Structure 1
């Protein structure tokens, strides 16, 4: 079992982002019988000792017996209108477990301290001590009925003190080889589970029977180890039927142990320092609302750390429900909202609302919990505003969405797009227009843009510019051989639009703008980014956009004209009168093409 505990304790390091740093290793108290603290109010938790030493600590305390200073001059304490103090005669009534702490003037329970699991919640007789001396009946309430937590802890203490019935004696009866095989088997099982957890892979398959061709990741990985390691193979072969360590319940126990150890490392790394909370909402595959919570803090080495703390199921996503769920999660790990010095959410009203948002509810309790809107998200919102403000740009992104839907509507059309692009790439290589090399000229397809991730729009624009002639070929095919008139009409409309100078101009204009903001967005999303550097990056990006506005018109016009000439698209004469498509010509002002493209679009988009 010693090897098992060493492996388990290593889980607290293995699931961290920087598992190689020695600072994340957990430090346990050293066990020495002579140095055990007698006063129950001053003792450390049993979990602070190494797992291999905890039973020794328990035996030592049980052999010494409960701390009962009968000759102590017990102080009097005000209880209402009278003064009361601890009665040493209570030792006679509850002498096998009742302890008195001189430092805290309170009583504790020895067996619950030794054996009660920490996950069962707090108990005054274990944590802070009981000192309400006028309510002696609380002692009997603590003892409770036959199956109470106290009695269960007491029976565990009795079993520990009877070596013949303890599990250690049962294991010692087995042969040394059997114990060694069990350790090898258990170690292999834990290693497989750690691997699957680190890779984020599913454990179980649809059919885990012995005659299944694929028993799932966990069993297949175990079998692989057994087949390629003779020692592990023998241990698996000699394992008894009820000791295979492959049951789903055992898998879940080890996973929970890994999660607890990982979380303990994060909480211990924070220590008593301050931290910030990052909260977002998400739905799982079963359509249940989940609140994800991450902590951002500076560790003892001065390094900024950002770690995922947990997911909390919330039945209601209003601000009050989110606050209660956040408080509950923090309390589980002995953290408090009073130590929060930063809040990071998106712009949803229930998160950052000025009156009833989660931000405001926390600020009412802790005025130092400053709210910082996600910088990358703010950038996306700014770009959305630009798109909605300019009709031409909003229309551009609507056309891109329709184009992706039409070209990627079927596998046949996607194959046509890839084949056409392959042919044109080969021709370009032969003519020397492009060069060959490792990582160059990879097979690509049109990338669908996300509704809220505006960085994806930049990728869509780059793909369209690269695949433009192949996209035209696919649309021409749909126009001629579409399944119905609606598809043919839509393809004809898209052909006319994307082969117009205005579409190409807007496409390259947004490519240049989003190229600047995309670099900023990627930088703002880095984990090690700080607010001072972020503000500097914003300033640099704004200056780059201003430089494009001041000096970029000629470069943009040349770039667009070169693209149009290459693909046989008519370039209008800039001094001619602009003819608006889809607008009333009676009400339209007579302006030149130069004024329309330079003033109404180029300058307006960069305001």
Structure 2
């Protein structure tokens, strides 16, 4: 697990600095807490200074009894935990794939196709040859080679990217599957698998779920990409979540006809049989005597389209229930958009009570008057007009010296900015370990690995360090025979 410190610097900018890594995430929470305390002490910090914590929902991290979150909250009640919004989004997307039987089976088929074609260099070459042949015939997409992507529950956007490529390369994939089953050098089992997949992919039901899933993932993909930004703030993240929910609801209300037209158009282009929507739907593998008495229209519109979109909406509402808590709701009052239209004095006063260590000794009247004066100043100052995001508000307050006139307001704003709604910096820092601890340095020690990671990740800081200072530092570490 990577530890990243989030703070607001003297210029009012939100900064994130990598401190180091702890043992793997399956370590006991008490051990992780001890390692974090040691890491903080090296930088002159302590657990009492923490005002926010954010990581994924693993049991040893989020557990209500012995989780790392609970252990830190027991010692410091102001270290509020925010489950990483990007992780929650990914879990919501994966939950639909696992809970809907037809969608779950669809992703298994997609994964099998990826594994079959990508299992050997020879089959990958088949794909490239098929793409090149189609490009020569159509004259489109020249020199734009695409590759099949594998699905990964822990990789943000992998589902969307994989399905987009599958849809774009659909004809090429069918040609490759036909090539594999007719190739005399292919094993019998491989040829049979290719034949079965070719039949499955050239089915209206598969194409419908492919198009439906792409539409749903396209809406949430924008939110996923936005949540991976390092400078994400809570107000903007909450707005993006609401926008995604609204777009999904609009898709449910008005998106059926356009989706069906898109599916029919794709099936017509690839010569796939299109069922008559008012005929009786027959579930593949069952006899007509045991088939449910429903039409094709009911199956595709109600059992697939409405059900999948409703499940996605429900998962988003369940996963992002934290946006309805008092803490996050009060934070939206700092939003500078629309000339501080979200400003609410009582909610901001309520927000100060979440941080008794900072505001417990200050009388409510003093804080209230500061908020009133702050609101009048910023709404009348053109320099605060058209600001986007509370991170911009913080930096402009410092530039205009407003933070000196209203210290309590600025302190509360800094506390809000330190709460992490996305742990993308942590994920990127931990991913950097694969570059440091590679095959040539597989037995590297923890301390040396941390030192290398700090230098690799915080390159912007090290560029300001003079080489002479580094040589002087190592020269003075111990007695040496010669001068470095």
Category of TM-score, reference length = shorter chain:
0.5 to 0.7
Distance in 2 (alpha carbons) for counterparts of 1:349 and 1:384: 18
Distance 2:106 2:24 in 1: 39
2:85 maps to 1:375: yes
Q: 1:460 to 1:357 in 2, by over 3 A?
A: same
CA distance in 1, matches of 2:263, 2:155: 26
Distance 1:315 1:552 in 2: 42
Q: Which residue of 1 aligns with 2:261?
A: 558
Q: Please, which of 173, 198, 202 is the counterpart of residue 471 of structure 1?
A: 173
Question: Which residue of structure 2 lines up, in the alignment, with residue 547 of structure 1?
Answer: 250
Aligned residue in 1 for 2:191: 488
- Answering whether residue 220 of structure 2 is matched by residue 510 of structure 1, we say no
Deviations 1:360-385 (A, max 9, x none): 00000000000000001000111111
* 1:327 corresponds to which of 37, 57, 61: 37
1:106-147 deviations in whole A, cap 9, x for unaligned? xxxxxxxxxxxxxxxxxxxxxxxxxxxxxxxxxxxxxxxxxx
Paired positions, count:
309
Select 1:577's aligned residue among 267, 274, 280: 280
Query: Greater relative contact order: 1 or 2 (C-alpha under 8 angstroms, separation 6 or more)?
Result: 2
Shift of residue 583, structure 1, vs aligned partner = 4.0
In 2: Cα distance, 1:350 partner to 1:499 partner:
45
- What's the offset of the Cα at 1:582? 2.8
Distance 1:336 1:584, change over 3 A: farther
Q: What RMSD, in angstroms, separates the aligned Cα atoms of the two structures? A: 1.6
Aligned partner of 1:530 among 212, 215, 233: 233
Q: Is the 8 A contact 1:576 1:592 kept in 2?
A: yes
Find the aligned partners of 1:465 and 1:316 in 2 and give their Cα distance: 38
**Within 2, Cα distance between the matches of 1:315 and 1:296?**
20
Provide the rounded CA distance (Å) in 1 between the counterparts of 2:30 and 2:204: 53
Out of 95, 107, 122, the position equivalent to 1:412 is 122
Q: Name 1:453's counterpart in structure 2.
A: 155
Asked if the contact 2:130/2:172 (under 8 Å) is kept, the reply is yes
Q: Does 1:593 align with 2:303?
A: no
Asked if the contact 1:312–1:329 (Cα under 8 Å) also holds between the matched residues in 2, the reply is no
In structure 2, do the counterparts of structure 1 residues 572 and 316 end up closer, same or farther at CA, with 3 Å as the change threshold?
A: closer
Report if aligned partners of 1:578, 1:592 keep a CA contact under 8 Å in 2.
Answer: yes
Alignment TM-score, normalising by the size of structure 2: 0.62
Distance 1:347 1:502 in 2: 34
- Report the alpha carbon displacement of residue 491 of structure 1 after superposing the two structures with TM: 0.7
Provide closer, same or farther for how the CA distance between residues 316 and 466 of structure 1 changes in structure 2, counting only shifts above 3 A.
closer
Q: Is the CA contact (8 Å cut-off) linking 1:293 and 1:311 kept in structure 2?
A: yes
Contact 1:314 1:321 in 2 (8 A): no
- Compute the displacement of 1:308 (Å): 1.0
Deviations 1:64-114 (A, max 9, x none): xxxxxxxxxxxxxxxxxxxxxxxxxxxxxxxxxxxxxxxxxxxxxxxxxxx
1:358 Cα deviation after fit: 0.0
Query: SS of the counterpart of 2:51?
Result: strand
Q: Deviations over 1:560-603 (max 9, x none)?
A: 00000000001101000101013465443111000000000000
CA displacement at 1:334 relative to structure 2: 1.1
The 3-state SS of whatever aligns with 2:151 is: coil
How far is the alpha carbon of 1:518 from its aligned partner? 0.9
Report the CA distance shift for 1:441/1:604 in structure 2 as closer, same or farther (over 3 A): farther
**How many Å apart are 1:397 and its aligned residue?**
0.8
C-alpha distance in structure 2 between counterparts of 1:509 and 1:383, whole Å: 13
Instruction: Give CA-to-partner distance per residue, 1:254-273, whole Å, 9 cap, x none.
Output: xxxxxxxxxxxxxxxxxxxx
Alpha-carbon distance, 1:486 to partner: 0.9
The match for 1:166 is: none
Q: For residues 405 and 348 of structure 1, what CA distance do their matches in structure 2 show?
A: 29
- Determine helix, strand or coil for the equivalent of 2:89: helix
CA 1:585–1:306: 2 relative to 1, 3 Å: farther
Alpha-carbon separation, structure 2, partners of 1:340 and 1:422 = 56
Q: Is the 8 Å Cα contact of residues 281 and 292 (structure 2) preserved in structure 1?
A: no
Q: In proportion to residue count, which structure has more strand?
A: 1
In 2, are the aligned partners of 1:417 and 1:470 still within 8 Å (CA)? Answer: yes
* CA radius of gyration, larger in: 1
Shift of 1:416: 1.3
**Aligned-partner SS, 2:283:** coil
Q: Matched residue of 2:124: which SS?
A: helix
* SS class of match (1:345): coil
* Contact 1:344 1:374 survives alignment (8 Å): yes
CA contact (8 A) 1:294 1:310 kept: yes
Mapping of residues 255-274 of structure 1, within 5 Å: none
**Against the structure 1 CA distance between its residues 299 and 583, is the aligned structure 2 distance closer, same or farther, given a 3 Å change threshold?**
farther
